[in-house]
Structure 1
């Protein structure tokens, strides 16, 4: 089968019409990871009758225990579908072993470090090859964490990034027992007995997560831990990021609280950035971790905000002609 890319082997798995939307699913085999079995599914959403007329590319990164359906349902409902109907060129990757992405040979050892240093650069390269334009990136929860790692680790070329948006994303919440070395070490030993964490058994979502992610996060939150890997300090690298940034936190989000999301936002060095709290005091519902993007209130209060950001990030950060940001209401 002929590849859909000149960069690395890419197969078009299917091209279907779903109501008013077109759904093209690609499988990327970049071969840039030590585990050569890695293949990534990448879905492209657009308008079925306007395949040759596409707007700015937007890459949506799902969170833990999730897949592409977080962004659009089989009935064509979701932020991804909304943005496609608004004219954006929507791309939705699924991380290793999630959704249509098969489990790689070393699945149990997958880490954010692998997603950030190998997978996101491959996705960025293919999307740029297909569109010829810098892409907007938007990550929710672990998707946002992966995006932060890729930016802080300088794995992504900022010239190919139009903006970065983080929803419910933080790496600063403190888990005090992990500050006790024997507890952290014992936890790692215990977790290594498992290959993955079951999303259905834990009632967290439809997908499993490799145990490597849990072990990696324990290291971040340990006594001398840091947001990074052995080679790079991602947290320090965030201070050098210069792309426009939007960070959004839900007032009712107990998993990734507002203060922790704000700390990540403040670490980012870009002069073009905006922090938004989704709460009643701010003109919104008190959104939680998931319903900030997946709920009927989000459709009317949050999705238009995202569309506005993607249409003109500099206007929302108040960096256009030195004006102040306009107030955002729900």
Structure 2
């Protein structure tokens, strides 16, 4: 392991966001902010032993910051304590605070790397707050989609039953969605966030659940930073290639680089929604290509 790790907290409103900082042993050659998806936390990107995309990029010389969203991971307080949190708070408060915090710490543009729903939230935040765009060098998404249209038995179980029906019932009963305790995900979800997420998956229009802000319309008015979308061959529900491409189209991101991670396209493995970030062979496959691309952008 060619980097050091430690945790600290960023106060936002009445809560604190946990950030895991992974710093190379020499002067960083770029800054990366990692944003996780639903029913997970920042650990999707790193481990204490250095595994994961976050550890890999830190070993390659990047200053990497893996955030836990409010109520998740080691952020305080946790959803289980009765703490509630909405998508709009993430979009309008938390993500801007994280980007501005890193820009002030390093005085250089930030590379955003997001998994799954984190990519939707990152896009929404940049659409709603275009003043952040000059602070962002690139946005990379792994399996990020807004709507889930692909139909299968897996989709009917994971999305239609677990997420759309069981999740709200459990959230109403407990005050939050206890996904981790029930082994339905890596972390719990605040009740309001779950409701907002379900609404976006189901509705055609990409508009805010709280005030109706039109993110799709705003996306047409901005100039995106450098973009790269990854999809996985075995990701047939949570980041289906068709759904990812639909998300790219509705946010006017058709100019993005697009990589399908599967053996038929030259990858070492037919990856799935999680393994494209966690598989041991990823460090020989797409991680080096991503690191070189980020390095080139950081050099200007």
Query: Shorter-normalised TM-score: what interval?
Result: 0.7 to 0.9
SS in 2 for 1:26: strand
Equivalent runs, 1:121-136 vs 2, <5 Å: 121-136=96-111
SS at match of 1:138: strand
* 1:108–1:212 CA contact under 8 A, matched in 2: no
Residue 68 (structure 2) aligned to one of 79, 82, 94 = 94
Give, in whole Å, the separation in 2 of the partners of 1:113 and 1:120: 10
Instruction: Give the corresponding residue for 2:56.
Output: 82
Equivalences for 1:173-184 in 2 at 5 Å? 173-174=148-149
Name the residue aligned to 2:288. Answer: 304
Q: Distance in 2 between matches of 1:314 and 1:21?
A: 19
Distance 1:78 1:222, change over 3 A: closer
Partner of 1:259: 242
**Structure 2 CA distance for partners of 1:221 and 1:232, relative to 1, 3 Å:** same
**2:194 matched to 1:198?**
no
Whether the 8 Å contact between 2:91 and 2:122 is mirrored in structure 1 is yes
2:272 pairs with 260, 282, 288, which one?
288
Secondary structure in structure 2 of the residue aligned to 1:292: helix
Moved more, 209-218 or 289-298: 209-218
In structure 1, what is the equivalent of residue 145 of structure 2?
Answer: 170
Compared CA separation, residues 185 and 197, structure 1 to 2 (3 A): closer
Q: TM-score, normalised by structure 2?
A: 0.83
Q: Would the aligned equivalents of 1:244 and 1:271 in 2 still touch at CA under 8 Å? A: no
User: What's the CA shift for 1:228?
Assistant: 2.5
- How does the TM-score come out when normalised to structure 1? 0.76
Q: Distance in 1 between matches of 2:150 and 2:233?
A: 20
Contact in 2 for aligned 1:39/1:96 (Cα 8 Å): yes
Q: Say whether the 8 Å CA contact 1:21–1:45 is kept in structure 2.
A: yes
1:206-231 Cα distance to aligned partner (Å, 9 max, x none): 32111212211232244665342324
CA distance in 1, matches of 2:200, 2:278: 29
1:234 aligns with 2:215: yes
Report the number of matched residues.
Answer: 284
Give 2:95's aligned residue: 120
2:224 aligned with 1:249: no
Per the TM alignment, residue 108 of structure 1 is displaced from its structure 2 partner at its CA by: 4.8
List gaps (5 residues or longer) in structure 2: 157-163
Contact 2:168–2:191 (CA<8 Å) still a contact in 1? Answer: no
Q: In 2, Cα distance between the equivalents of 1:68 and 1:188?
A: 23
Distance 1:144 1:102, change over 3 A: same
User: How do residues 104-115 of structure 1 correspond to structure 2 at under 5 angstroms?
Assistant: 108-115=83-90
CA distance in 2, matches of 1:224, 1:276: 26
Check conservation: 1:96, 1:107, Cα contact below 8 A. Answer: no
What corresponds to 1:210 in structure 2? 190
Which has the larger Rg? 1
Task: Structure 1 unaligned segments of length 5 or more: list them.
Answer: 1-18, 32-36, 178-183, 321-330
Q: C-alpha distance in 2, partners of 1:231/1:295?
A: 39
Bigger fraction of residues in helix:
2
Deviates more, 1:206-215 or 1:162-171: 206-215
More relative contact order in 1 or in 2 (CA 8 Å, sep 6+)? 2
